[in-house]
Structure 1
Amino acid sequence: MNTSAVARLLNVSHSTIQRWVSQLNMEVERNQLGHYQFSEEDIALLRKIQNQLNEGIILQKVSISESKLKKAIVRKHPETTKEHEQLMERVIRLENGLKTKADDVVSYQLLQHRSEMEEMHKLVEKLEARIEALETPTVLPFDYFLAAEEAAATKKTKKKPFMKMIFGNGRKNDPTSLSTADSD
């Protein structure tokens, strides 16, 4: 079966099949044009991969049988020396060190995120308490006697109209108005 037929069978895209084969280093036969030709065993293996991915396992952690993995061919040259072997051992140690360092970084980031989330949770609890305090009605006792005293203390004064205040009552025969006019 070709890639498209297998993709239809598994209900995924053909690029997904190609990605699984390349990232998992699967050994799959190719035709004259270089296209994958999947056997029944290959299809069964792809179904197992799909099931593992559906269970939540990431592609790098998917386990497949060793017989279908591409084997790296290591050719030793006659000029391979002890220095080359030491370099290879050092490269392997460095790669392992990088893996552990990456794990440490991720663990540190997770701890940082957890502490930030705990701080945010405490802040949310404080805000909830403040909102609840603001939403609960506070009834102050009303002092009726105090209100009555204040009402009695405020005396209403009758205001004079503005024009009368400036020009007076406006009576011409008023002796008080004449006396003020005579004094001028």
Structure 2
Amino acid sequence: MELKTSDVAIRLGVSPKTIQRWVRKYNIPLRRNEAGHYLFDEKTVALLERVKFEQGAAMEAPPTPKRPPTPLRNNIPIDALHESIEPEIARVSSRLDQLERQLEQKADDVVSIQLLHHRQEMEEIVARLTALEQLVARLEQQLNNRPPSSHETSDEPKQKRRGLGRVMGLFA
């Protein structure tokens, strides 16, 4: 029975890279499949088990590092400081949320007041425009109701004024 590198690695409890490294390091002759992967027989697996035993390279969980001692601040453990600060942080966060809501309300109030002022200004402008339209209408009516003047109706050609032109002609 022929095994792949990953199968041998699982069987020996090491990584596939470790198996490949041992094969290269100890020049273990192996056959390869068409993809170039190593093929292991039982004899080679037994040889690798002996290498593992000699190397002591069993894949064990790395020892968990000891947790460093809790740092102190003013001779008080940091964890204790965090516990004492958490309620204060919650209080400050709550107050911040409340202030944000108040700020939004104030902003809404300011916008409402500005809209009211703009509406009043628009109403004043409309009132002035209406008054101007009425004034123009009255003036047009007065102009249309007025009797024509004498100089507007005469068809006589205007007489040419002679005066300044004659005087200017003397200097030419």
TM-score (norm 2): 0.34
Structure with greater Cα Rg: 2
